[in-house]
Amino acid sequence: MSDIIAQYEKYVMPTYARQPVAFVRGSGCYLYDREGNRYLDFVAGLSINNLGHCHPAVVAAAQKQAAELINTCNLYYTQPGGELAQLISELSLGGKVFFSNSGAEANECAIKLARKHGRDTDGDNKYRIITLENGFHGRTMATLTATAQPAKQEPFKPLLPGFTYVPRNDIAALEAEMDDSVCAILLEPVQGEGGIYPLEKDYLEAARRLAGKHGALLMFDEVQTGLGRTGKLFAYEHAGVKPDVMTLSKSLGGALPIGATVTAPAYSEVLGAGMHGSTFGGGPVPCAAAIAVLNELIADGFLEGVNARGDYMRSLLEKMKEDGLVTGVRGLGLMLAIDLGSPVAADVVTEALKNGIILNNTSAETIRFLPPLVVEEGMIEAVVEFLQTALTGRT
């Protein structure tokens, strides 16, 4: 065991089952350990490094800002916060933005906003929030309550009141739970942590219609799907269904911590002064990095490239399915997963690491791919070749 790992074992709470490797450097699609071994990264820090590790534009923006002003807290104005909010607003829902530091915090703000809006419009009884089974929205008490995965929730009960869970893509089940006591529907357009399950266009359209009918907010958690991951800047664009509120985080700051809760104009003023806050939220350094990230994502041809590489990777995975090596292939853009048909996913991830490839499994049978969006075809081929070898004779 390296001294770095030993130190973690002794002093860091054991809330993660970490892979047995410590990285010291990252560049593009590769990470490096202390011995100089190189690893091809198909996890991208769970989609925080969408532009690859230490993208020069992100590093330059963060370094420049850090040398000028790191943070002031939110009692004052700083230039990068306003500029980033304008950019996000103009690229998405057109309203205002609240900045925090993580995905869970972005969702926490959305949940509070929905409760407040419900109360403003229809009094004390409009507080129910509907989320989807197998979804993931974070680990704080409110976002854990929104995360309808019993195993994650059980140790922390009692949870918050007022949450109802429905199965994904089941319009009738959603309709059955909707009434005027619902203040919001919160969902991921593609369930990420749950194993890469895209929601159907019909379902998103029905959610939009039902939310409107009952005066509820439609809120999309785009923490993982957002910012080019699915081949569009935001996953809601695939179905053409715009939410009232959207949350972003992960890759927004180019791997620096930032969360954003974005509203349509009608909901921009629901939370007023003193109703929500974050000391660090929207600090100049992550905001400067995020402006650099967005400028890369909206550059000509960037998203076309993501789609081309996503299609290519998917075609190779589909071929593995034809060859009987995997039982399922799912996803959108460069947010992909394979089902292995037997509980060998953790073993494959371990073997991949020994072969200099970083993979992630969402369950015993499912491997999820979140490579940097700048991944190259040859890298995709290398990963697929590894999988072909690893899975031959295993499943």
Contacts to ligand PLP by CB under 6 A: 46, 102-104, 107, 136-138, 188, 192-193, 221, 223-224, 249
Where are the alpha helices (H) located in the chain, listed in sequence order?
3-11, 44-47, 56-68, 79-91, 103-122, 141-146, 150-153, 171-177, 201-213, 236-239, 284-297, 302-322, 345-354, 377-391
List Cβ neighbours of 282 (8 Å cut-off, separation of 6 or more). 74, 81, 84, 85, 99, 100, 258
Annotated catalytic residue 213: no
Using an 8 Å Cβ cutoff, are 162 and 168 in contact? no
Query: Annotated catalytic residue: which of 136, 163, 369, 386?
Result: 136
Distances (CA, A) of 133 to 250, 251, 294, 357: 22, 25, 31, 31
Instruction: Point out which residues pair with 369 in neighbouring strands.
Output: 336
Q: How far is the CB of 310 from ligand PLP (least distance, A)?
A: 18
Q: Which residue do the tokens 């923490």 mark?
A: 223
Cis peptide before 158 (omega within 30 of 0): yes
3-state secondary structure of 181: coil
Tell me the two tokens of residue 179. Answer: 């009434």
Residue with Cβ nearer ligand PLP (137 or 208): 137
Residue with Cβ nearer ligand PLP (372 or 387): 372
Q: How far is the CB of 299 from ligand PLP (least distance, A)?
A: 25
Q: How far is the CB of 241 from ligand PLP (least distance, A)?
A: 17
Q: Which residue do the tokens 């089974």 mark?
A: 133
Tell me the two tokens of residue 52. Answer: 């690859």
d(CA 2, CA 312) in angstroms, rounded, equals 38
d(CA 267, CA 269) in angstroms, rounded, equals 6
3-state secondary structure of 280: coil
Amino acid code (one letter) for 55: H
d(CA 103, CA 229) in angstroms, rounded, equals 15
- Longest CA pairwise span in the chain (Å): 61
Annotated catalytic residue 136: yes
List Cβ neighbours of 67 (8 Å cut-off, separation of 6 or more). none
278 phi, psi to nearest 5 deg: -165, 120
d(CA 147, CA 171) in angstroms, rounded, equals 19
Query: How would you classify residue 45: left for phi > 0, otherwise alpha for psi between -120 and 50, otherwise beta?
Result: left
List, by residue number, the catalytic residues: 136, 221, 250
